[in-house]
Amino acid sequence: MRSRHLSPRTRALLFLVIGAVLLTVSGFIGELRTYQGAQVAVYMIAIASIILLTGYSGQISLGHGAVMAVGGYGAALSFNLWHFPFAIALLFGVLVGAFGGFVLGVAAARLSGPYLAGTTLALAVGLPTIADQFHVLGGEQGLNFDIGDPPRWVVRLEGGDFTQYKWFFWISIVVALVALWGITNLLHSSYGRNWRAGRNNAVAAGLAGINVARGKVLAFTVSSALASLAGALFALLLGLVTPTAFPLSLSFAIVTGAVLAGVGNLAGSIVGGVVLVAIPELSGSLTTHLGNSQKVSANLPGLVMSSSLILVVLFMPNGLRIRKFKKQVKTQ
């Protein structure tokens, strides 16, 4: 049977071509679509963190929205308080989230199933209340995260109509593609194989010499780093970091996007990101046709997302995959 995996050089070239096409297309679309494209990129990274953790390592997290908040606060705090450059502030947020994920991963290695899900859920519920108690985090008002106008060299390259939203789109797309390229290579390495072995049969993996507990801690750390990166980019798009910007519903939305993508399908994170961005817009259109009711506008997005999740679990438990591809795999 021939390998279905692309070589690292081919994957790098593929991601480079996709990035070049997307950055070129950004000059021909409006402000709203540009902003939504940046949102898709952020959700792609967040969903990829769940796919790595659950689909490859077998651990369940319902609190990755809180991990995103850690990354957002870390980036904004270092940018405002210590005046780090934006790239360093972004990296600092990732490192803070990775450290938090390591600490949580050590505890998670002793838990499984509903116990782990309940622990991470408690984190997502309690973190906003904790953030309100620290003055350095801005309390309920949060922290501003405004990196200013695009650099001059970018404006000269793209012309005077290069807006801040397009600059955010550029940043989000480039960071998302680099992150997905890196995580794709990681999942195709021995680490990814060890995670899958521990997920499928921990006893057999241990007998084969794989340290399953250490692998779970590493998976939780890498997953948290990805979620923190998504949180820092999400804070960039919002222009601020507040406890209400990372509610419990965000954690559920990320899990929903991962289920829609197929929990073991990293490429499906693109589909999941598009769906999560499209649902509010679809709900807004439906609300307009239903009379712009405030109750409908507040509850319809959650209803649409919940219904989509139920339908996918019932009829496509492996996510929105292409059946033809699955048939090809079976015949090989």
Tell me, what DSSP letter sits at residue 28?
G
Query: What share of the chain in percent tops pLDDT 90?
Result: 32
Condensed to tens digits (0 to 9), the pLDDT of residues 228-240 reads 999 999 999 999 9
Mean pLDDT (whole number) for 152-164: 74
Condensed to tens digits (0 to 9), the pLDDT of residues 77-133 reads 999 988 999 999 999 999 999 999 998 888 877 777 777 778 888 888 887 778 777
Q: How far apart are CA 142 and CA 269, in angstroms?
A: 29
Task: Enumerate the domain spans of the chain.
Answer: 8-247
Residue 296's pLDDT band, with cuts at 50, 70 and 90, is low
CA atoms within 13 A on the CB side of 191: 17
Q: How far apart are CA 213 and CA 235, in angstroms?
A: 33
Helix, strand, coil share (%) of the chain residues, nearest 5:
75, 0, 20
How many of the other CB atoms lie within 10 Å of CB of 69? 31
